[in-house]
Amino acid sequence: MQPLAITVGDPAGVGPEITARALIDMSAAERSEIVVIGNLRTMERAMALAGGGIAFAPGLGPHRDDAVAIIDIALSGAVPDGQISPAGGEAAFRAVEQAVTLAVAKRISVIVTAPLNKAALHAAGHEYDGHTGLLAALTRSPAGYMLLASEKLSAIHVSTHVSLAEATRRPTKGRVLGAIAAGDRHLRRLGLARPRIAVAGLNPHSGEGGIFGREEIDTITPAIDEARAQGFAVTGPLPGDTVFHRALKGEFDLVVAQYHDQGHIPVKLIAFDTTVNVTLGLPIERTSVDHGTAFDIAWKGVADHTNMKAAIAYARKMAAEPAQ
């Protein structure tokens, strides 16, 4: 199996520390299957902060003496701890860019991303909406889908980092159908023979027959009908205020959420520490923590790496079941 790659995100945030702590918790054999992509001195500093004695060695590895492989990303300027900076945004961008290059060349398997800061990314001249949009652009893909996965509740999103006004325009028939197909394909890959997928409506009460909006009638229901015709086990559109409760009780394996907060709020409420952000629909594989750079606690030695460990574990599971 090719190694997993961990991009450490914005050096000013908690990414380096949670990466270091996750590495400390691994066995030597597990660390030999990892390559870190980020600034070498930053990672050495993070390892010291985390109280670990693990060394890093340049290159893909594996290396002798249990050193962790690292692709060193030079910093273009000062990166103050816990602050937005163009240099921090540039470092985060270049790490992801390098990871994509390696993934496309099949030299790594799954990319695991620590958090970047969108304002810093923009300050560095890279105006993407976050990792999902950045990965889609770097792979020249028309679209990617964000899946929030947990053992209790999972949701795939028709739209994510756009304004609420724009989100109401995103549920086209093609986009909704694409989310259903991407979610079904992913769950089958992980062992579900026939995933049960629920599609949330966009409007209150799923539009109440057109009283509160026609998106369910004009685009969402036609997408569901087409999905059923293609053999998917799909139910909906169902009201957003009840569909997640039904999924949590075991009626559905996945919910198609129409916009960011519709899916993020219930999943993070139920499983904040263990939810994994997975990007689907691209020619590469990626998992991520579901939290941000946490500048307020960065470089204070208190960052919790539970979510990073979950993202790495999920990436290992994906790597063990290659996409068809």
**3-state secondary structure (DSSP) of residue 197:** strand
For strands 34-38 and 68-72, give the pairing.
parallel
**pLDDT tens-digit readout, 260-312:** 999 999 999 999 889 999 999 999 999 999 999 999 999 999 999 999 999 99
Locate 136 and state its tokens.
């889609």
Q: How far is CA 78 from the centre of its chain?
A: 27
**pLDDT tens-digit readout, 82-119:** 999 999 999 999 999 999 999 999 999 999 999 999 99
pLDDT at 161: 87
pLDDT at 81: 97
**Which residues touch 105 (CB under 8 Å, ≥6 apart)?**
none
Q: How far apart are the first and last CA of the chain?
A: 16
**3-state secondary structure (DSSP) of residue 38:** strand
**pLDDT tens-digit readout, 36-56:** 999 999 999 999 999 999 999
d(CA 14, CA 294): 6
Q: How far is CA 42 from the centre of its chain?
A: 23
Cα Rg of the chain, angstroms: 20
Residues carrying CATH 3.40.718.10, the chain: 1-141+282-324, 145-279
pLDDT at 125: 96
**Which residues touch 75 (CB under 8 Å, ≥6 apart)?**
11, 39, 42, 87, 91
pLDDT at 242: 97
Q: Which of 319, 267, 258 is nearest to 291 (CA)?
A: 267
| Helix ranges restricted to H, the chain | 15-25, 28-31, 40-50, 86-104, 118-123, 131-138, 164-167, 173-189, 215, 221-229, 240-248, 260-271, 306-320
- Element of type H or E holding 34: strand 34-38
pLDDT at 64 over 80: no
Q: Which fold has domain 1-141+282-324?
A: Isopropylmalate Dehydrogenase (3.40.718)
**pLDDT tens-digit readout, 127-156:** 998 898 899 999 999 878 999 999 999 999
| pLDDT band, very low/low/confident/very high, at 324 (cuts 50, 70, 90) | low
Name the average pLDDT for the chain: 95
Residue located via tokens 């990466």: 19
Cβ burial of 173 (10 Å; 0-12, 13-18, 19+) is middle
Report the sign of the C-alpha dihedral through residues 181, 183, 189, 191, in that order: negative
- φ, ψ of residue 269 to 5 degrees: the values are -65, -40
pLDDT at 215: 95
d(CA 165, CA 65): 54
Homologous superfamily of the 145-279 domain (CATH)? Isopropylmalate Dehydrogenase (3.40.718.10)
